[in-house]
Amino acid sequence: MGLKKRSKVSAEFSMSSLTDIIFLLLIFFMLTSSMIVPNALNLKLPGKSNANPPPTNTKPNIVKIAPKGTYYLNGSQIKRSSLEQEVRKLKKADSKLAIIISPDEETPNEYVVAIMDIAYRYGVDAILTDPK
Amino acid sequence: MLTSAAVQINVELPESDSKTVAPTDIAVMMTKDGRVTFNGRAARLNQIKRLIQKDLPGQTNVQNATVTIIAEVGVPWKKVNEVMKIASELRLKAIIATQPSK
């Protein structure tokens, strides 16, 4: 019979396509894993020898945070956006500015972190008080 | 790949602009419904100190061991404060995990 095989399957193994896929996977996992790792704000706890002592020469600016998330700067209520402006203004006037963050026990932590973030962005020393 | 999968964070974190990467060797995670996990295992807040103490000798970098506080949005500050106090008592560093602001 005159039948003949139409196509021959190549038994050769192509390395380049394998490496292609491996590199693709590598890049994919590198990108996704960096998304899993969260960012963080560094805290300096009392008692650690390498923590800088808080500056004492300036008048303290106290930011109180109520359980509902309302902010009080030195006793008067203030919105978060205006607080940021205020911090920027104060920082300009005094480069050694320090703010004292005094959250209530029941304050959700994101409001506290928001203030810590403002302080971090403007390079202001922020001191947390113990709510108790 | 393996190390990043060790601590799975699928809660919403407070937002900040900080670009510091949080170490996850000692991770204390707290959720809004009051659950506390230590390095992925369920725990209670009053056990955390003991668990960290037990875990410390196994750390590769004991001098710079850092407690990462992963607190979901809505967790009352007193709980975060509690963990900060524990870290301070054990003379460890503490860092609070955040996510980049949208």
Domain segments of chain B as ranges? 15-100
User: Hey, where are the domains in chain A?
Assistant: 61-128
pLDDT tens-digit series, residues B11-38: 788 888 887 877 777 888 888 888 888 8
pLDDT in tens, A1-23: 666 666 777 778 788 999 999 99
The CATH number, out of the four listed (3.40.50.2000, 3.40.50.12780, 3.30.420.270, 3.40.630.10), of the domain defined by the range A61-128: 3.30.420.270
Residues of chain B contacting A103 with CB distance shorter than 8 Å: 77
pLDDT tens digits for range B63-94 = 778 888 888 888 888 888 888 888 888 888 88
| DSSP-assigned letters across all residues of A15-38 | HHHHHHHHHHHHHHHHHHHHHHSP
B-chain CB neighbours of A37 within 8 Å are 4, 21-22, 24
At B50-65, the pLDDT tens digits run: 888 888 877 777 777 8
Amino acid at B6: A
CATH 3.30.420 matches B15-100: yes
With a cut of 50, say whether residue A49 has pLDDT above it: no
Residues 67-86 of A with CB under 8 A from B: none
- Measure the CA–CA gap between B32 and A13, rounded to whole angstroms: 54
* ipTM of model: 0.80
Instruction: Specify the pTM.
Output: 0.73
Q: Identify all chain A residues contacting B11, using CB atoms and an 8 Å cutoff.
A: none
Pair type for strands B15-16 and B26-30: unpaired
With CB atoms and an 8 Å threshold, state whether B77 touches A108.
yes
Nearest alpha carbon to residue A84 among A54, A31, A122: A122
Residue in B with minimal Cα distance to A45? B88
